Structure 1
Amino acid sequence: MSNKSEALGTEPIGKLLIKQAVPASIGILVMSLNILVDTIFVGNWIGPIAIAAINVVLPISFFIAALGMAIGIGGASIISRALGSGNKERALRTFGNQISISILLTSTMVFLGLFFINDLIPVFGGKGDIFEPAKVYYRIVLYGVPLLALSMMGNNVIRAEGKPKFSMISMIVPSIGNLILDYIFIYQLDMGMAGAAWATTISYGLSFLYILYFFLSDRSEIKIRFHHLGFNWSVLKEMSSLGFVTLARQSVVSVTYLFMNNILFEMGGESSIASYGIIARMLMFALFPVLGVTQGFLPIAGYNYGGHKFERVRESINRAILYAAGLGLLIFIVIMSFPEAIVSVFTDDAQILAQTPKYMRWVFAATPIVAIQLIGAAYFQAIGKAVPALLLTLTRQGFFFIPLIFILPHFFGEMGVWISFPVSDVLSTIVTGYFLNREIRKTLKV
C-alpha cells in the first residue's frame, strides 16, 4: 500500500491548504448550489409553501444524515492521525467500524422516523397548509437518507486519505444529478413535491455509488477485509467521542430549525418560515469557501499533530484563519450589497420580497469573523480533543443563539430573532478565540 497521504506532512502548508481547500470548497459549492437551485425550482414551479415544507422536513432528515457525517468526521480524525504515525491497521479497523455502525444507526433512525411521521412533522413547524406537502416530501426523502449518511461518512474518509479531488467529485455527482432530475420530475412530469423528493432521494443513491466505486478501485489506500467490519470497542469509543462533536452540532442545527420554524410561524405565519427557508439556503451556499477551508484544514492539522510536527500545525491554523476570514469578508460585501436581487431569484411573492432582504443583512452581519470560531472548533476535533471541540462547537447555536431567539423577541419583536444571528456569532468567536490561543501557547510549543 503506497502511503500517498504522507504529502500532508511534507508539502508547504500554504500550498497544501489550497490543494485541500479548493476541491472541498468546490464540492461544498456544488452541493450548496444544488440546494439553492432546488429551492429556486420548488419556489417557482410549486410555490412558496413548498419552500416552507422542505424547510420543515430538512432538520429531520438532516439529523439522520448527520449520524453518517459524525461517524465520518470522528473516524477521519483517527484515520488521519493513524496514517500520520504509520499505524495503517488502525486506519483499516476504523473504516470497517465506520461502515458497520453507519448502517446500523441510520437504518434504525429511518424506521423510527417513518413510524412517527404524523407526530414529527407538526413538532418541526409543519402546521396549517404546510403539513400535507411536508409529509409527501418527508416520506420519500427518508428512504434515501441511509445512502446519504454512508456517502457523507465515506466522503470524510476520502479526505482523510489526502485525496480531496475525489471527495469533491463525490459531492458534485449527486448535485448535478439532483438538478437534472428536478427539471424532469417537477417541470416536465409535473410531479410536484413528490418529484422534488424523488430527485433528492435518487441523487443520494448516485453519491453512494460513486463512493463505493472509489473504495473498490485501486485509487484508495484503505482496503478493508471482512474482519475489519467487526466492532472494536476501543475504536468505537474514540470515534464516538469525536463524532459526537459533529452529531451534537448537527443536532443543535435541527433543534434550531424546530425552534425557528415554530417561533416564526407564531409571529409571521407561513411567509416568515418561507423567508427563513431562503436565508437558510443562502447560509449553506454563501459560506461554501469558508467551510471548504475548514474541511481542508482538518486532515492537515490531524496528520501533522499525529506526527508531532507542531510548527506545521501552528502554521496551518494561522493560514486557515487568514484565508477563511478573507473569504468571509467578500461574502459579507456581496450579501450587504445585493440582498433584494438575491431574494427575487427565489420568489415573486410581494410580502417575502419586502421582508427577507432586511432579515438577510442581519443574519450575515458578522460573517467576516466566523472563521475564528469554525477553525478553532475544528482544530480541537482534528487533534482528538473531544470535550473542548464539543463545547466550542456548541457555543454559537447551543449556548448563545437558541437562548437569544427566546429573549430578544421580547424587546424587538420578530426582528429580535434575526438580530440573534450576529450577536451569537460575535460572542462565540470571542470565546473560541480565547481557548484556541490558550491551547496553542500551551500545547504547540516548537
Structure 2
Amino acid sequence: MTHEQETKDTSAAPSHPTDAQGKPAAPGGQGKPRQHDKVTRMGTESIPRLITEFAIPSILGMLVNGAYNVIDSIFLGQAMGEIGLSTATVAMPIMTVFMAIAMLVGNGGNALAALRMGEGKPEEAERSLGNTVTLSLIASVAVAIAMFIPACIDGLLSVSGATPEDWDYAMRFIRIISLGFIFQCIGMGVNNFIRTAGAPNRALGTMIIGAVACTVFNALFVLVMGMGVVGSALATVCGQAISCATVLWYFCLTKGVPMRLRLRMMPLHGETVRLILSLGLASFAVQAGMAAVNFVLNNLLNMYGAQSPIGAEGALASIGVVQRVASFVVLPLIGMSIAIQPLLGFNYGAHLFKRVKMTLAWGIAGNTVIAVVLWALVHLFPAQIVGFFGITDPNLLSFTVFALQVQLFLIPFVGFQIVGSNYFQATGQPAKSVFLSLTRQILFLIPLYIGLPMVMPVWFPGYTGLDALYFACPVADFLAIFTTGVFVLLELKRLRKLENGQLQAKF
C-alpha cells in the first residue's frame, strides 16, 4: 500500500531530481525517463494559474457527469409524473453503487499515476492506466451478470425501497444501465487520467459530448417515442458510450500524449492493482456511503411518508428531487478536489511540500467561494429549481422547497470538507482519506436518519418524523467539517516538518 513511513532523518534528499530552487529538474535529467512538458509544469508554474486551468473544466465536467441522473429525472418526471420520479429515486442508490465501483478503479488508478509522474516514472503511470482499464472490464462483466441474477436484483430493489407500483420500472431501468456499465467505467473513471496527462479541457470535452448525447436521446426516446424508463436508460447508456469512445480515442490514437494505453501494460500487475484499489478506496467509500444512505433513506421515506399527508410515493418523489439537487450542488465541489488531485500528487511525489500546501490552501479557498455562490442560488430560486422536475402540487412543492433549503444549509463549509478528505487520497494516505470520507455518510448521517425522527417530534412538536430526515443532513455536515478540520491541521504540521527535513516521506 502507498503510505507514509516517517522517520527522524534530517539528511534525506528527495528522490525526484530538483534544481537549485527545489523545482523539478529539466525532463530527462539524471538518467530519469524524459517527462512531457505538460506534466512537469505542474511542479513549476504558478499554483493559482494551474488550479484555474484545471478547475474550470473539471468542475464543468463533474456537472456534466452529474447531469445524467438529473436529466433522467427531469424527463421521467415530465413524462410520467410522480411514478417516474419515484422510479428514479429507487434506482439512484443502485446507480450510486455502480459509480462507486467505477471510482474505486478510476480514481485509484489516476491517483497512482499522478504520484508516479511526480516521482519521474512515466512507464509506471502507463501501467496504472492499463491496469485500470483491465479492472474496469472485469468489474463491468461482474456487474452485468449480477443484475440478471433474480436474487441479487430483487434484494437490491427491496433495500432500495421499491414499492409495487415502481418495482418493474426500476428493474428494467437498472438492468439496461448494468449492460452499459463498461461505458461508465471508461467514460468517467479513466477520463480523470486525461487531467493528469495535462489536458483538462480535453477531459471536459469527452464529458460534454456524452451529456449532450444523453439529453438528445432522452428527448427522442422518452418524450417523442414514449419509451418511458426503458428509453431513459437507453439514452443514458448511449451518452456514456459516446463519452467512452472519446476517452479511448485520446489514449490510443491522439499523438504526443504523455500517457498512452498500451496492450503490454494491460495485464494485471499484483502490486499495481493493490495500490490502485487502496488509493481508490476513499472514492469508493464516499459513493458506497451515499448508496447506503440512500438505501436507508428510501425505506424511512416509505415509513414516515405513509404517515404524512403527501404519502409514501410523494415522499419518495419529493426527497428524491432534494437528493438529486443536493448531489448536483456538491458536484462542483468534488470537481475542484479532482482538479487539484494531480497537482497535489505530482508535487507530493516530487517532495515539493511548499507547493503542496499552497495547492491545498488555494483549493479550499476556491471551493468555499463556489459553495457560497451555490448556497445563494438554492436559497434565492428554490421553487424554480424544484419546478424543473415536474412537481406541481402546491403542498408537495412547498414541502420540497423547505426540505431543500434545510438540507443544504451548511453547504458553504462543505467545500472545505471535500477538499480536505480528498487531499489524503491524492498524497498516498488512503487510510485517513477513507476514514474522513466515511464520517459524514456512515458515522454521522445514517445514525441521525434513524434516531432524529424518534426524538425531533418530541422536542419540537411542530415537526414530524419525515421533517427530521432532512434536518439530519446539516447536523451531519457540521460534525464532518469539524472532524476534517482536525485532520487538516495535523497534516499541515506534518508538512512543515517534511519541508524542513525533520521527516522523510517514502512511497
Could you state the TM-score of these two structures normalised by the residue count of structure 2? Answer: 0.85
Cα gap change, 1:142/1:350 in structure 2, threshold over 3 Å: closer, same or farther?
A: farther
Deviation string 1:383-424 (CA, Å, 9 cap, x unpaired) is 000100100111111110111100100022111111110001
Deviation at 1:265, TM superposition (A): 0.9
Mapped contact 1:81–1:303 kept (Cα < 8 A):
yes
Distance 2:217 2:297 in 1: 30
Match 1:332 to one of 353, 375, 387? 375
Match 2:294 to one of 229, 237, 257? 257
Percentage of identical aligned residues: 28
Of 166-175 and 217-226, deviating more is 217-226
Deviation string 1:125-144 (CA, Å, 9 cap, x unpaired) is 11131212112212212211
Match 1:61 to one of 95, 102, 115? 95
Instruction: Structure 1: state its 5+ residue gaps.
Output: none
Matches within 5 A, 1:21-60: 21-60=55-94
Cα gap change, 1:34/1:151 in structure 2, threshold over 3 Å: closer, same or farther?
A: closer
Distance 2:393 2:230 in 1: 23
Mapped contact 2:51–2:340 kept (Cα < 8 A):
yes
Match 1:408 to one of 444, 447, 452? 452
Counterpart residue number, 2:158 = 122
Deviation at 1:168, TM superposition (A): 0.8
Mapped contact 1:97–1:236 kept (Cα < 8 A):
yes
Counterpart residue number, 2:239 = 203
Cα gap change, 1:60/1:191 in structure 2, threshold over 3 Å: closer, same or farther?
A: same
Matches within 5 A, 1:96-115: 96-115=130-149
Counterpart residue number, 2:129 = 95
Q: Does 1:343 find its partner at 2:343?
A: no
Instruction: Structure 2: state its 5+ residue gaps.
Output: 1-34, 306-311, 457-464, 500-507
Match 2:202 to one of 157, 166, 176? 166
Counterpart residue number, 1:396 = 440
Deviation at 1:335, TM superposition (A): 1.1
Mapped contact 2:54–2:340 kept (Cα < 8 A):
yes
Deviation at 1:79, TM superposition (A): 0.7
Match 2:117 to one of 68, 73, 83? 83
Match 1:241 to one of 278, 282, 291? 278
Cα gap change, 1:223/1:191 in structure 2, threshold over 3 Å: closer, same or farther?
A: same
Cα gap change, 1:139/1:351 in structure 2, threshold over 3 Å: closer, same or farther?
A: farther
Deviation at 1:26, TM superposition (A): 1.2
Deviation at 1:29, TM superposition (A): 2.1
Deviation at 1:24, TM superposition (A): 0.5
Mapped contact 1:68–1:151 kept (Cα < 8 A):
no
Mapped contact 2:289–2:441 kept (Cα < 8 A):
yes
Distance 2:178 2:89 in 1: 14
Distance 1:444 1:161 in 2: 29
Mapped contact 1:376–1:432 kept (Cα < 8 A):
yes
Deviation at 1:351, TM superposition (A): 3.7
Match 1:178 to one of 214, 227, 230? 214
Distance 1:61 1:146 in 2: 13
Deviation at 1:3, TM superposition (A): 4.0
Match 1:10 to one of 23, 35, 44? 44
Mapped contact 1:24–1:164 kept (Cα < 8 A):
yes
**Superposition misfits of 4+ residues, deviation over 4 angstroms:** none
* DSSP-derived class of the 2:233 partner: helix
Deviation at 1:270, TM superposition (A): 1.1
Distance 1:108 1:233 in 2: 20
Give the structure with higher Rg (CA).
2
Deviation at 1:343, TM superposition (A): 1.2
Deviation at 1:109, TM superposition (A): 2.1
Q: Does 1:280 find its partner at 2:323?
A: yes
Cα gap change, 1:169/1:398 in structure 2, threshold over 3 Å: closer, same or farther?
A: same
Deviation string 1:333-367 (CA, Å, 9 cap, x unpaired) is 22122212221221213342121011001110000
Match 2:260 to one of 197, 218, 223? 223
Counterpart residue number, 2:484 = 432
Mapped contact 2:99–2:287 kept (Cα < 8 A):
no
Distance 1:41 1:96 in 2: 37
Mapped contact 1:245–1:390 kept (Cα < 8 A):
yes
* DSSP-derived class of the 1:414 partner: helix
Deviation string 1:199-253 (CA, Å, 9 cap, x unpaired) is 1111111111111111112153212432211221111111111111111211111
Mapped contact 1:71–1:239 kept (Cα < 8 A):
yes
Distance 2:262 2:363 in 1: 36
* DSSP-derived class of the 2:205 partner: helix
Report how many aligned residue pairs link the two structures: 446
Cα gap change, 1:285/1:61 in structure 2, threshold over 3 Å: closer, same or farther?
A: closer
Mapped contact 2:100–2:286 kept (Cα < 8 A):
no
Distance 1:258 1:2 in 2: 45
Deviation string 1:250-306 (CA, Å, 9 cap, x unpaired) is 111111110011100111101111112211221232233322211111111111111
Deviation at 1:61, TM superposition (A): 2.7
Distance 2:256 2:161 in 1: 45
